[in-house]
Amino acid sequence: MPCIENSLDSCDLESDEVAAIAEHEQVSIVIAAELGCKLLQSQDGIARLHVMMLDDIQLALNRGRVSHANELADTYRNFRSTHPLPMLSR
């Protein structure tokens, strides 16, 4: 049975980034890690991950969970620095 450590070893995501994906998609950590790894393989996927994390922050704020929103914002800042949004072609 796959475990989170095995999933993260083969992927360029941190555990808190995977947790944010799991929260957004309402799936297990292992499935979120697999999804995140798959999405990192394309520019559209990377953009989708940015949107997921920003959605998580907004939802936490809407629910009055400011502390959690701050944690998610820290996670997003790290993700944004390691996986910047792809440049849009003109």
Residue 88 lies in a domain: no
DSSP 24-88: HHT--HHHHHHHHHHHTTSHHHHHHHHHHHHHHHHHHHHTT-HHHHHHHHHHHHHHHHHSPPPPP
Residue 87 lies in a domain: no
Residue 89 lies in a domain: no
Residue 38 lies in a domain: yes
Which residues form the domain of 15?
Answer: 4-82
Res 62: pLDDT: 98
Domains contained in the chain, number: 1
Averages of pLDDT over runs of 10 residues in the chain (90 residues) are 58 92 95 95 95 97 98 97 76
Res 67: pLDDT: 98
Res 26: pLDDT: 97
